[in-house]
Structure 1
Amino acid sequence: MNGVINCLKPPGMTSHDVVDFLRKQLGIKKVGHGGTLDPGAAGVLPIFVGKATKAVEFFEASEKEYVAEMTLGVTTDTGDNLGKVLETKDCNAESASIIEVFNKFVGKIQQIPPMYSAVRHKGKKLYELARQGIIVERKPRTVEIYSVELIKYEKPRVLFRVSCSRGTYIRTLCEDIGRALGCGAHLSCLIRTKLGPFKISQSITLEDIKASVSSGKSQEILTSLDKILSTFMSSVIIQLRNEKSFFKGAEFPIENISTEPDNENQYAVIYDQKKQFLGVGKIFHRGPNILVKVEKSFL
């Protein structure tokens, strides 16, 4: 059993809880996830099964989209609605001023990871230290906000859509926006609507997954890895005379290519002449020839 499940994570579960649930349902240990979601958050959580677990790295840089609710005037120690209230202020912000502040955060920005996060400090996760009352200095990280759109504003709650890069903390973004507005804020609800090629409109609930497994239709919830990869990578065909030659670092001339690469080192899905999925590689030029260098084998 190999492939990817576009899972709809419910609130109240950790991402690892979802993985454990699927391991039990599918009867397979080799299960992993891409793009961790906080326990209180819901939405798109790609689940990789079997050999597909080796491909998680190719989705790590994917653009993410969220619909978030931010409550103005209330700050908490965790940055979300699960924490202890630290301060409450009146907030008289209008829609126009909120949009103006949103626009200031579009582009590359610096974020300090929250203490209640899985970022490691000297081998320990920050949230483990935070639960012991230990606060440590965190270095700011560069992330990118591609867009922030106001959906609805009913004081003190702000509903908005944000598209961002890997490593962006929406809790931190809410805190920074609240600080810029002068009243403070926290994240009160979060739904991830997109992660790379995975969209919430195509997500499958845990209940539907369980029902499919019970009825013997496990394969129907899986999408083949190469089909997913092909949504954002070129496809190439090579001549493979000996499977043992297909290993990390091997180079092959390309016999056919679906789309010309935009630049050097663009990833590509590799097939043999019988359309068997072989792996993922990087396209490069050597003189007049276009070659592919194998990065990961899925044989």
Structure 2
Amino acid sequence: MNVTGLLNFNKPGGITSHHAVNMLRRIFQTRQVGHTGTLDPMARGVLPILIGSAVKASEWLVAENKTYVAGLKLGLTADTEDTTGTILTTSHDIPSFEQVLEVANSFLGTYHQIPPLYSAIKVKGKKLYEYAREGKQIERESRPVEIYSLSVQPGDTPADYILTVSCSKGTFIRTLCADIGKKLGCGGVMSCLLRTAAGKCRIEDSYTLEDLEKLKAENNLSSALQPPEELFADAPDIQLEPFYARLAKNGAEIYISKARLPDFPLGQQVRMFDEHGVFFAVGETLPYENGKAVKVRKFFA
């Protein structure tokens, strides 16, 4: 089976993102499978999966923004910052909805977030959760993240709320819940998490394991994949004549004036097609001594 492209996968709860990748390797019968943007085991929802040569696009997809629906439970703190961890403190002094809304809105925009100790971020070549499992505390530097939008709805009890968050890459929603609880003075943990969007991948268009097993039985798995070139749909196209396509495939820069290409601005990414209309690379317009030229940034064929 020769398949390549982006899979908008709907990860179930209870498995790691790595486990999801292994399951998809079995379904698609290839080891060339990778995910962009880890989801914790308790989290469900959109997990973009790259298959075949599309794995080379991971650097672009990792940087995309995310949207989540999360449960916030006030009156608790935990070592993992969610309800799966060890409860450290409890409080019955639960603030009003108006207070919760005011504090939550204070996190809109850019704020500096300290990554949770139970996370896969590496410090000194070692993942943070490995230090945590050894009972070691290690200093964690705060990182700027951006909260683009945040809505708050009351939950089933006065201590429970539903947050809908649109944010930048690298944002930990459980840490946001903990930070809101800390600022309120009562503590807070994340009780559930659903990722509804990652870049252009939306949950309403995603595929579950059951969907994929059905497509496999119908010998139609490729229908679940977006071709690699669609990952760069916002970039203009160039189709090269055989001579220039051969040069580009050999790593040479293609001068805009000589190949009669549009006068792209410096830094412009382009989708590169050969004379047969086959997508083979993403290129970038760069300055050279003899003028502007397009050079391959990443090959996909």
Question: What's the TM-score, normalizing by structure 2?
Answer: 0.90
1:83-232 to 2 correspondences below 5 Å: 83-154=85-156, 155-230=158-233, 232=234
Change (3 A) 1:282 1:129: same
Q: Report the Cα distance in structure 2 between the residues aligned to 1:264 and 1:162, rounded to whole angstroms.
A: 34
Name which of structure 1's ranges 277-286 and 86-95 shifts more when overlaid on structure 2: 277-286
User: Residues 144, 41 of structure 1: CA spacing in aligned structure 2 closer, same or farther, 3 A cutoff?
Assistant: same
Aligned counterpart, 2:61 = 59
Instruction: Give the CA deviation at 1:77.
Output: 0.8
Give the match's secondary structure for 1:189. strand
Aligned mate of 2:37, from 20, 35, 38: 35
The equivalent of 2:48 in structure 1 is: 46
Question: Which secondary structure state, in structure 1, belongs to the residue aligned with residue 226 of structure 2?
Answer: coil
Counterpart Cα distance in 2 of 1:191 and 1:71: 15
**Residue identity matched to 1:52:** A
Runs of 4+ aligned residues of structure 1 deviating over 4 Å after TM superposition are: 254-257, 284-287
Alignment of 1:66-85 (within 5 A): 66-85=68-87
Given the superposition, is the C-alpha separation of residues 199 and 247 from structure 1 closer, same or farther in structure 2, using an over 3 Å criterion? farther
In structure 1, the gaps of 5 or more residues are none
- CA RMSD in angstroms comes to 2.3
- What do residues 259-281 of structure 1 show as CA deviations (whole Å, max 9, x unaligned)? x97x7424332223442112112
Please give the alpha-carbon distance, in whole angstroms, between the structure 2 residues aligned to 1:36 and 1:102. 24
Whether contact under 8 Å (1:117, 1:126) holds in the other structure is yes
Cα offset, 1:191, TM superposition: 0.7
Number of positions where the alignment pairs a residue of Structure 1 with one of Structure 2: 295
Unaligned stretches of 5+ residues in structure 2:
none
Is 1:30–1:53's contact at 8 Å kept on the other side of the alignment?
yes
Partner AA of 2:299 in structure 1:
S
TM-score by length of 1: 0.90
Q: How far, CA to CA, are the matches of 1:266 and 1:160 in structure 2? A: 37
Cα distance between partner residues in 2 of 1:150 and 1:283: 44
Of all paired residues, the percent bearing the same amino acid is 39
SS at match of 2:9: strand
Question: Take 2:98 and 2:251, find their aligned partners in 1: how far apart are those partners?
Answer: 53
SS in 2 for 1:114: coil
In 1, distance between residues paired with 2:161 and 2:215?
38
